[in-house]
Structure 1
Amino acid sequence: MNYDVIFIGSGHANNHGARLLAAAGKKVAMIEADKLGGVCTNYGCDAKILLDGPFEYLDGLNNYQDLGLRADVQIDWTKLMNHKRKTLAGFQTVMEPMFQNLGIDIIKGRGIIVDVHTVAVGDQHYTADYIVIGTGARNAKLNIPGQEFTQGSTEFLDLDALPEHMIVIGAGIIGMEFASMALLAGKKVTFFEYADRPLLAYPEKYVKKIVAKFEAQGAVFHFGQAVAKVEKADKGFRVATQAGLEVTGDFVLDATGRVANVENLGLENLGIEASPRGIKVDEHMRTAVPNIYASGDVVDKTIPKLTPTAEFESNYIGRDILNPEGPAIAYPVIPNLVFTLPRIGQVGVTIDEAKTHPEQYKLVEIPWGEQHDWVNNHERDAELALIFDKEDYLVGAAAISSQVGTWLDWLTQIIEKKMTAQELNSMVMAFPTQTYVLWSTVTSLLKAQ
Structure 2
Amino acid sequence: MYDYDVIFIGAGHASWHAAMILLQAGKKMAFVERDVVGGTCTNYGCNAKILLDTPFNYLDGLKRYQGIGISELPKPDWTSLMNYKKKVISPLNKIMEGMFENAHMPVIHGNGKLVDAHTVDVDGRKITAENIVIGTGEHAMKQNIPGKEYIHDSRDFLDLDSFPARIAFIGGGIIAMEFASIAVQMGAQTTVIEYTDRVLRMYPEKYVGRVVDKMKAAGASFLLNHEVKEISKKGSSYVLTFADGSTLETDYVLEATGRAANTENLGLEDLGISYSRRGIQVDDHMRTSVPNIYASGDCVDKRIPKLTPTATFESNYIATQILGINPNPIQYPVIPNLVFTLPRISQVGVTLEQAEAQPDVYDIEVAEFGKRLLFEAKNQPDAEFTFIFNKKRELVGGAFYGEDAGTNADIAALIINQKLTGMQLNQMIFTFPTESQALLNLLTPLMLKKV
Is the pair's TM-score, using the shorter chain for normalization, greater than 0.5?
Answer: yes
Q: SS of 1:176's equivalent?
A: helix
Q: Provide the rounded CA distance (Å) in 1 between the counterparts of 2:219 and 2:375.
A: 30
Amino acid at match of 1:292: I
Q: Aligned partners of 1:31 and 1:259: how far apart in 2? A: 20
Other-structure match for 2:120: 119
Q: Which residue of 1 aligns with 2:424?
A: 423
Deviation at 1:321, TM superposition (A): 1.3
Match of 1:378 in 2: 379
Structure 1 residue 447: Cα displacement: 5.0
Alignment check: 8 A CA contact 1:421 1:446 kept: yes
For 1:171, the equivalent position in structure 2 comes to: 172
Tell me which residue corresponds to 1:218.
219
Q: Does 1:34 align with 2:35?
A: yes
Of all paired residues, the percent bearing the same amino acid is 50
Whole-angstrom distance in 2 between the partners of 1:94 and 1:253? 30
* 2:64 alignment partner AA: N
Deviation digits for residues 346-394 of structure 1 (CA, Å, limit 9, x no counterpart): 0001111111111111100122111110211101121110111111111
Q: Could you tell me which residue of structure 1 aligns to residue 440 of structure 2?
A: 439
Pairwise CA distance, 1:66: 5.5
Give the residue type in structure 2 aligned to 1:99.
Answer: F
The 2-side partners of 1:447 and 1:107 are apart by 57
CA distance in 2, matches of 1:323, 1:275: 29
Q: 1:275, 1:232 → 2: CA distance?
A: 34
Tell me the alpha carbon deviations over residues 48-104 of structure 1, each in whole angstroms, 9 at most, x when there is no partner: 001001000000011123536322311111111011111112323421232234342
Deviations 1:14-60 (A, max 9, x none): 11011111111111111112221011000100000010010000000
Paired residue type of 1:259: A
Counterpart amino acid of 2:300? V
Shift of 1:448: 8.6
Provide the secondary structure at the position in 1 that maps to 2:260: strand
Matched residue of 2:132: which SS?
strand
User: 1:236-285 deviations in whole A, cap 9, x for unaligned?
Assistant: 11111111110010100011111111001111111111121111111111
1:57-76 map, 5 Å = 57-65=58-66, 67=68, 69-76=70-77
- The CA distance in 1 between the partners of 2:278 and 2:343, in whole Å, is 30
Aligned position for 1:229: 230
Q: Secondary structure at the match of 1:67?
A: coil
The one-letter code of the counterpart of 1:213 is K
The aligned amino acid for 2:278 is R
Report which stretch shifted further, 66-75 or 406-415.
Answer: 66-75
| Deviation per residue, 1:288-331 (Å, 9 max, x gap) | 11111111111111010000000000011111111187111100
* Counterparts of residues 387-398 of structure 1 (less than 5 Å): 387-398=388-399
* Counterpart contact for 1:364–1:386, Cα < 8 Å: yes
Does the residue aligned with 1:411 lie in a helix, a strand or coil? Answer: helix
In structure 2, C-alpha distance between the alignment counterparts of 1:388 and 1:408, rounded to whole Å: 15
Residues 79-98 of structure 1 aligned to structure 2 (within 5 Å): 79-98=80-99
Q: Given that residues 367 and 442 in structure 2 are in contact (C-alpha distance below 8 angstroms), is that contact kept between their aligned partners in structure 1? A: no
What is aligned with 2:201? 200
Q: Describe the SS at the equivalent of 2:89.
A: helix
Residues 9 and 30 in structure 1, CA contact (< 8 A), matched pair in contact too: yes
Residue 257 in 1 paired to residue 263 in 2? no
Aligned: 1:317 with 2:318:
yes
- The secondary structure found in structure 1 opposite 2:430 is coil
Q: TM-score, normalised by structure 1?
A: 0.97
Q: Find the aligned partners of 2:63 and 2:93 in 1 and give their Cα distance.
A: 36
State the alpha-carbon separation in 2 of the partners of residues 205 and 448 from structure 1.
Answer: 25
Q: Give me the whole-angstrom Cα distance separating, in 2, the residues matched to 1:374 and 1:237.
A: 45
Q: Which amino acid aligns with 1:321?
A: I
Tell me if the contact between 1:279 and 1:287 (Cα under 8 Å) persists in the aligned partners: yes
Name which of structure 1's ranges 331-340 and 362-371 shifts more when overlaid on structure 2: 362-371
Equivalent position of 2:144 in the other structure: 143
Deviates more, 1:104-113 or 1:148-157: 104-113
Residue ranges of structure 2 left out of the alignment (5+ in a row): none
Match of 1:240 in 2: 241
Distance across 2 between alignment mates of 1:244 and 1:448? 56
Are positions 1:356 and 2:357 aligned together? yes
Residue identity in the other structure for 1:175: A
The one-letter code sitting in structure 1 at the alignment partner of 2:14 is: A
State the partner residue of 1:133. Answer: 134
| Deviates most, 128-137 or 87-96 | 87-96
> Quick one: distance in 2 between partners of 1:97 and 1:256?
35
2:4–2:129 contact (8 Å) kept in structure 1: yes
Distance 1:298 1:261, change over 3 A: same
Give yes or no for contact 1:19–1:102 (8 Å, CA) kept in 2.
no
Q: Structure 1's 149 and 445: CA in aligned 2 closer, same or farther, altered over 3 A?
A: same
CA contact (8 A) 1:351 1:387 kept: yes
Distance 1:102 1:257 in 2: 36
Corresponding residue number in structure 1 for 2:412: 411
SS in structure 2 of the partner of residue 395 of structure 1 = strand
Cα distance, 1:341 vs. partner? 0.4
Q: Give the aligned residue type for 1:257.
A: G
Q: SS at 1:332's partner residue? A: coil
Structure 1 gap ranges (5+): none
Aligned partners of 2:107, 2:180: CA distance in 1, in Å? 37
Please give the alpha-carbon distance, in whole angstroms, between the structure 2 residues aligned to 1:123 and 1:434. Answer: 55
Q: Which residue of 1 aligns with 2:45?
A: 44
Contact 1:422 1:448 in 2 (8 A): no
CA distance in 1, matches of 2:261, 2:95: 28
Query: 1:160: which partner in 2?
Result: 161
Q: Which amino acid aligns with 1:422?
A: M
1:345 aligns with 2:349: no
Letter of the 1:13 counterpart: A
Inter-partner Cα distance in structure 2 for 1:68 and 1:216: 23
| 234-243 or 11-20, larger mean C-alpha shift | 234-243
The one-letter amino acid paired with 2:281 is: K
Q: CA RMSD in A?
A: 1.5
CA distance in 2, matches of 1:433, 1:171: 32
The whole-number CA distance in structure 2 between the counterparts of 1:422 and 1:181 is 42
* Residue type at the aligned position of 1:354: A
Counterpart of 1:29 in 2: which secondary structure? strand
TM-score by length of 2: 0.97
Find the residue that maps to 2:62 and give its secondary structure. Answer: helix
Distance 2:434 2:46 in 1: 27
Whole-Å Cα distance in 1 between the matches of residues 421 and 104 of structure 2?
43
Q: Give the CA deviation at 1:424.
A: 2.0
